Chains A and B, each alone.
Chain A
Amino acid sequence: MKRFTGTSQYIVSEELGRAVDVAVALGRPLLIKGEPGTGKTLLARDIANFFEAPFECWTVKSTTKAVDGLYQYDAVRRLHDSRFGDADVRNIEQYIELGPVGRAFTNAERVVLLIDEIDKADMEFPNDLLHELDTMSFTIAETGREVVAAKRPVVIITSNNEKELPDAFLRRCVFHWIAFPGRELMQRIVRVHHPDIEDNLLASALQAFYRLRSVDGLRKPPSTSELIDWISALRHSGMDPAKLLGSGLPFLGTLLKKEQDIELVGKQVRRGMFGKR
């Protein structure tokens, strides 16, 4: 089996790579948690690219029900057809539309299936999926047809910790928490997005970034995606890297998204805490 090492578009840590391997080899769902902006969703796409597998994405919303991912039965259309249409309403199959999970199961190839932000849905949602993910099959209640996965899909589940997931569900998952990348890993990540960045700009940007993250009391510390945007802004404006450490932080709005945070950091900048080392 090929070991997952990430593609050139996505850098993975050693531990995350192992977790993916374990999930793929044991055929278990991989549950990914981590700070917003650490690339949880991107990971699934990258796994699909890496294994050259088809990709199915199911973005969960607060109103999503477990059955929506399996299939949807369009009763309204059938009702409409029964009154006004000319379709044969006795053929229920034509009113069944498979959801992302259903499509992943029926695909002849091994699919990478992303269930994004599972914590957004109702608390019972993960429990409702337990059986389907365990046996990789489900039955369409309306027609009695059983859908069985041709190839066990690689299931990636992300969560933002908004809700606690049930124990029974957790026990079946391989779990990984994406820790915030350290400076070395971050350098590699930035280089993926800015391959031709100058060394001194990268070094000073990272220094300023990690110093900013270490400020006490930030409501939402800036994450990887904000850093990448910020560097784009810096390069676009042709900022002199040497100035970055001297005169406060330009384009603070790309890094900090909360008013209170901008105020807090603004105060510290004025007091000179971001000025000299």
Chain B
Amino acid sequence: MFLDFFFNLRARGLKVTTHNWLSLLEALAKGLHGDSLDGFYAVARCLLVNTEGDYDVFDQVFAETFRGVAIDAQALLNNLDDWLKNPKKLEFLDPALREALKALDMQTLRRELMDRLKRQKERHEGGSHWIGTGGTSPFGQGGAHPSGIRIGGAGGGRSALIVADERRFQNFRRDLVLDTRQIASALKRLRKLSREDGEPELDLDGTIDATARNCGDIEVVMQPPRNNSVRLLLLLDVGGSMDPHAHLVSRLFSAAHQSGDFKELRTYYFHNCIYSKVYDDASFTDGIKTTELLRTLDRRWYVIIVGDAYMHPGELMMSSSDWWDSQRGPSGLNWLAKLADRFPRAAWLNPEPPRLWPHGTIAEIREVFPMYALTLDGLDEMVKGMRRPGDPRRRARVARLASTG
């Protein structure tokens, strides 16, 4: 049962490692759980989970795995106590296993666990879900093993299961909420430090070096401090289908400003798709020509476009957001390709859930920009993606698209 717990946690995406699990066994062997299910819950959680975002999943798995225990806790407990007093009484173990159990010490337990983990990996890759041998495995049954895990009575006060069932930590799930501060800390990781300008500071190594060359007469060397050299261009889609996401986008916007860590940060707005102009504010009065952006900003700029990429296919092909504007020119898709071509470090953040992405205009735009979800995980992915060189195939396609307009 306990090994089941481990694999259930892993199956639900928690990054629990063998290392964690062995620490748990070590802690249990030292009796830190105080022989209670509550204690086991607390000890297991602090060793197996390392971010509050995973508390909720942990609670769920804990409740699922040990629910049977809770219902039948007393019966199980009696059984275990009986068995501890007189192993022969336990009907559901065959004699061979009972012998094996008796012989197991902590070292053997560990070896056995490692062995099983290895086997589990093979089977897991085969695609079937491994099911513990429950009552007859030394780990599953470890609760009764003198050197293993012991299930005690329901601890004082609230039972760990009730606590787990409450799912108190639902709010911390990473895939759900984006806080301004969290966005800011995600964006902060975009920084790249370099010495360009700023108030000079003492360069110690340089000073020592120069002093030595100067036969010991102190020669002070100064240098500019290390600063973030990242320049960020933020393009935000507003209005229409973006209205439901306005709150989220405004948070991203304020986070980008708050983090204040960028060498330069420029924000422009657009509606639906980028055409020949982008705007200073959401009322679309003053703006700047897109060609000017392409001309004045160099390739080192990072570009983040936030939008649902969801529009009528015609809009992607039009040359202006204004139906009546008969002026001929590059289509929306073409403008996007020009941007992507000019700025290799560009990404598209989409507040719509990824399941909608394989269709329509979203799919088209994904060909041009790497697309990420506007969630904390998505932002993390984006930051990672922007630090890597772009996909050469996408770059080639984008270059082709950009030159056709």
Q: Is the CB of A26 within 8 A of B27?
A: yes
B31 shortest CB reach to chain A, Å? 9
Q: Which residues of B contact A75 (CB under 8 A)?
A: 204, 208
Q: Is the CB of A79 within 8 A of B218?
A: yes
Closest B residue by C-beta to A20:
B46
Which one of B23, B189, B218 lies within 8 Å of A123 (CB-CB)?
A: B189
Residues 152-205 (chain A) with a chain B CB within 8 angstroms: 161-164, 167, 170-171, 173-177, 179
Q: Is the CB of B49 within 8 A of A15?
A: no
CA distance A259 to B189 in the complex (A): 29
Q: Is the CB of B185 within 8 A of A79?
A: no
Closest A residue by C-beta to B33:
A18
CA distance A15 to B168 in the complex (A): 14
Closest A residue by C-beta to B174:
A164
Q: Which residues of A contact B20 (CB under 8 A)?
A: 171
Any chain A CB within 8 A of the CB of B307?
Answer: no
Closest A residue by C-beta to B53:
A177
Which one of A83, A174, A179 lies within 8 Å of B218 (CB-CB)?
A: A83
Residues 19-34 (chain A) with a chain B CB within 8 angstroms: 19, 21-23, 25-26, 28, 31, 33
* Candidate in B50, B52, B207, B380 with the most chain A CB atoms within 10 angstroms: B50
23 A-B residue pairings within 8 Å (CB atoms): A3-B34, A15-B45, A15-B46, A21-B32, A22-B27, A23-B46, A25-B30, A26-B26, A28-B23, A75-B204, A83-B216, A123-B189, A161-B185, A162-B181, A162-B185, A163-B188, A171-B17, A171-B19, A175-B49, A175-B51, A177-B52, A177-B55, A179-B169
CA distance A15 to B47 in the complex (A): 12
Closest B residue by C-beta to A73:
B204
| A residues in contact (CB < 8 Å) with B | 3, 14-15, 18-19, 21-23, 25-26, 28, 31, 33, 75-76, 79-80, 82-83, 123, 161-164, 167, 170-171, 173-177, 179
CA distance A28 to B23 in the complex (A): 10
Q: Which residues of A contact B159 (CB under 8 A)?
A: none
Any chain A CB within 8 A of the CB of B15?
Answer: yes
Any chain A CB within 8 A of the CB of B332?
Answer: no
A76 shortest CB reach to chain B, Å? 7
Contacts A18-B39, A161-B182, A161-B185 given: A170-B50 contact, CB under 8 Å? yes
Q: Is the CB of B23 within 8 A of A163?
A: no
Any chain A CB within 8 A of the CB of B147?
Answer: no
Q: Which residues of A contact B51 (CB under 8 A)?
A: 170, 175
Q: Which residues of A contact B341 (CB under 8 A)?
A: none
CA distance A263 to B216 in the complex (A): 64
Q: Which residues of B contact A23 (CB under 8 A)?
A: 46
Q: Which residues of B contact A3 (CB under 8 A)?
A: 34
Which one of A14, A83, A173, A177 lies within 8 Å of B217 (CB-CB)?
A: A83
CA distance A175 to B20 in the complex (A): 12
Contacts A22-B46, A175-B51 given: A167-B32 contact, CB under 8 Å? no
Q: Which residues of B contact A19 (CB under 8 A)?
A: 42, 46
CA distance A161 to B168 in the complex (A): 19
Q: How many A-B residue pairs have CB under 8 A?
A: 82
Q: Which residues of B contact A179 (CB under 8 A)?
A: 168-169
Which one of B26, B38, B169, B204 lies within 8 Å of A14 (CB-CB)?
A: B38
CA distance A18 to B211 in the complex (A): 56
Q: Which residues of A contact B26 (CB under 8 A)?
A: 26
Q: Is the CB of B38 within 8 A of A175?
A: no
CA distance A93 to B234 in the complex (A): 52
Contacts A83-B216, A177-B52 given: A18-B185 contact, CB under 8 Å? no
B119 shortest CB reach to chain A, Å? 23
B208 shortest CB reach to chain A, Å? 7
Q: Is the CB of B47 within 8 A of A22?
A: yes
Residues 189-209 (chain B) with a chain A CB within 8 angstroms: 189, 202, 204, 207-208
Q: Which residues of A contact B15 (CB under 8 A)?
A: 167
B321 shortest CB reach to chain A, Å? 33
Residues 103-127 (chain B) with a chain A CB within 8 angstroms: none
CA distance A21 to B47 in the complex (A): 12
Any chain A CB within 8 A of the CB of B43?
Answer: yes
Residues 206-230 (chain B) with a chain A CB within 8 angstroms: 207-208, 211, 216-218
Closest A residue by C-beta to B19:
A171
* Seed contacts A22-B46, A23-B46; 6 additional CB < 8 Å A-B pairs: A18-B32, A18-B34, A18-B39, A76-B204, A177-B55, A179-B168
